[in-house]
A and B are shown apart, each in its own frame.
Chain A
Amino acid sequence: MAVAKPELEEKIWSDPVWPDPLPEPASLRLLYAAEADELVVLFDDQRYPAVYFDFIGTLDEDYAAIKINMRSGDVIGVLVYPLAALAVERHPAWRPALAPNPPQAVANRIVMDIKDLYDRCGLIPELAGPH
Chain B
Amino acid sequence: MEIIWETVDRLGRIVALSDAGWIHICSRHEDMVGHQQDIRTALELADEVVRDAKYAHRQVHYLRRPPSLRWLRVVVQYRPSEPADWRGTVITAHFLSIRPRNEVLLWPLPSPS
B-contacting residues of A (Cβ < 8 Å)? 7-8, 10-12, 31, 33, 35-38, 40, 47-55, 61-62, 65, 70, 79, 81-82, 85-86, 123-124, 126, 128-131
Chain B interface size, as a band, is: 20 to 34
> A35 to B91, Cβ gap below 8 A?
yes
Choose one: B50, B68, B98; the contact of A10 (CB below 8 Å).
B68
> B98 to A48, Cβ gap below 8 A?
no
A12 to B113, CA, bound (A): 36
A-contacting residues of B (Cβ < 8 Å)? 21, 24, 27-31, 48, 50, 53-55, 67-70, 75, 77, 91-92, 94-103, 105
> A51 to B101, Cβ gap below 8 A?
no
> A35 to B77, Cβ gap below 8 A?
yes
> B70 to A52, Cβ gap below 8 A?
yes
> A65 to B31, Cβ gap below 8 A?
no
A12 to B105, CA, bound (A): 24
Q: Shortest distance in angstroms between A57's beta carbon and chain B's nearest beta carbon? A: 8
Closest to A32 in B: B28
> A10 to B91, Cβ gap below 8 A?
no
A61 to B31, CA, bound (A): 27
A54 to B50, CA, bound (A): 18
Most chain-B Cβ atoms within 10 A of its Cβ — which of A47, A128, A131? Answer: A131
Q: Shortest distance in angstroms between A24's beta carbon and chain B's nearest beta carbon? A: 21
Q: Shortest distance in angstroms between B42's beta carbon and chain A's nearest beta carbon? A: 15
> B102 to A61, Cβ gap below 8 A?
yes
> A54 to B54, Cβ gap below 8 A?
no
Q: Shortest distance in angstroms between B73's beta carbon and chain A's nearest beta carbon? A: 8
> B98 to A38, Cβ gap below 8 A?
no
> A130 to B70, Cβ gap below 8 A?
no
Contacts of B21 in A (CB 8 A): 35
Asked whether A129 and B98 contact (CB < 8 A) given A35-B91, A40-B29, the answer is yes
Asked whether A51 and B98 contact (CB < 8 A) given A36-B92, A85-B55, the answer is no
Q: Shortest distance in angstroms between A85's beta carbon and chain B's nearest beta carbon? A: 4
Contacts A52-B70, A52-B94 supplied; 8 other A-B pairs, CB < 8 Å: A7-B68, A35-B21, A47-B30, A52-B96, A82-B54, A85-B55, A130-B99, A130-B101
